[in-house]
Homo-oligomer: A and B are copies of this chain.
Amino acid sequence: PFQVQKKNIRTAALIICTFTYLIIGACIFDALEDAPFTDRKHRLERKFAQFKLDHNMTNESFRQLSDLIMNKTVVRHKWKFYDSFYFSTVVLALIGYGHRQLITSRAKIFCIFYAMLGIPMWLITFQSTGERLNSLLSCILARLKHSLHMKQTKITDGELLVTESLLSIVILIIGACVFSKYEKWSFFDSFYYGFITLTTIGFGDYVVLQNNRDKNFIEHAEYFFFCMAFIFLGLTVLASSMNLLVIRIVAFYSQERLLEKLRQEE
């Protein structure tokens, strides 16, 4: 009962922290995006008014046209096989850019079942590759330490975590360089895209492989593979960090429970 109460208090404290953090975030986002809004809005509205005047359009027909054009984003491109592969990856990785929308009910139903089966599979696979990457990295680091004639060649979880954080940063920077070259985004925007992708937030404001798609795919197939590799490798590195953190937290509790059980049995 004391143990339970302690857990309840810890959970309550965490919930309060998270809510406070959400509210702080809301305040800052509110303040940050406020200023440029009014300017941009006025500028756009002036341009629209000019357009209506130039082309003798009523407000109603302008609204109709807007709706049609919005709708156009949905049907801008014809899906190719590599688009669909990209889409499947984006679904299972929980990124969900929304750069392609499913319109028919049968596609939505398929997507629900596809995700229901695929997401657990994806998580187990990445948990497994993450664990393998951890042991590979331990091995490499231990050899490195050995070749540097260090006395303590055992690798701690902390050292692994630091290595993986560095690795994530390297992947993000390489990604940003390549994306900014092929997509003609600024370096910062490309970095932002990579971060939003690897955290699996996937806003969809920047999505790779959307410009001159067919031409690019034929001339720069290697770029398609780079983009996929970025997602797979980046998520593997993150999965191995998560693996370390989860093993640390969950395993600690479960080992405690096991030890208690063993003690009771004695």
DSSP class of A's interface residues: helix, strand, loop or mixed?
helix
Select which of B37, B57, B69, B245 is within 8 A of A69 by beta carbon: B69
Say whether B115 contacts A195, CB under 8 Å: yes
Q: How far is the CA of A111 from the CA of B192 in the complex (A)?
A: 9
Say whether A129 contacts B11, CB under 8 Å: yes
Residues of B within 8 A of A218 (CB): none
Stretch at the interface among A26-34, A175-183, A209-217: A26-34
Say whether B121 contacts A17, CB under 8 Å: yes
Say whether B110 contacts A28, CB under 8 Å: yes
Stretch at the interface among A140-148, A152-160, A219-227, A249-257: A249-257
Residues of B within 8 A of A188 (CB): 105, 108
What interface size band does chain A fall in? 35 or more
Select which of B37, B65, B118 is within 8 A of A51 by beta carbon: B65
- Indicate with 1 or 0, residue by residue over A1-22, a CB within 8 angstroms of chain B CB atoms: 0001001101100110110011
Residues of B within 8 A of A51 (CB): 61, 65, 68
User: Knowing A30-B84, A87-B26, A88-B26 touch, does A254 contact B249 (C-beta < 8 A)?
Assistant: no
Say whether A8 contacts B118, CB under 8 Å: no
Task: List A residues at the B interface (Cβ < 8 Å).
Answer: 4, 7-8, 10-11, 14-15, 17-18, 21-23, 25-30, 32-34, 36-38, 40-41, 44, 47-48, 51, 54-57, 61, 65-66, 68-75, 78-85, 87-89, 91-92, 94-98, 100-108, 110-112, 114-115, 117-122, 124-125, 127-129, 131-132, 135, 188-189, 192, 195-196, 199-205, 245-247, 249-251, 253-255, 258-259, 262
Q: How far is the CA of A92 from the CA of B82 in the complex (A)?
A: 30
Residues of B within 8 A of A65 (CB): 51, 65, 69
Q: How far is the CA of A88 from the CA of B128 in the complex (A)?
A: 31
User: Knowing A7-B131, A70-B73 touch, does A251 contact B249 (C-beta < 8 A)?
Assistant: no
| A117, closest chain B residue (CB) | B21
Residues of B within 8 A of A17 (CB): 121, 125
Say whether B88 contacts A32, CB under 8 Å: no
Query: Mind listing 5 A-B residue pairs with CB under 8 Å?
Result: A21-B118, A41-B75, A98-B202, A246-B250, A247-B250
Say whether A72 contacts B87, CB under 8 Å: no
Q: How far is the CB of A84 from chain B (nearest CB, A)?
A: 4
Q: How far is the CA of A192 from the CA of B104 in the complex (A)?
A: 12
Best-surrounded residue of A100, A114, A203, A259 (most CB of chain B within 10 A): A203
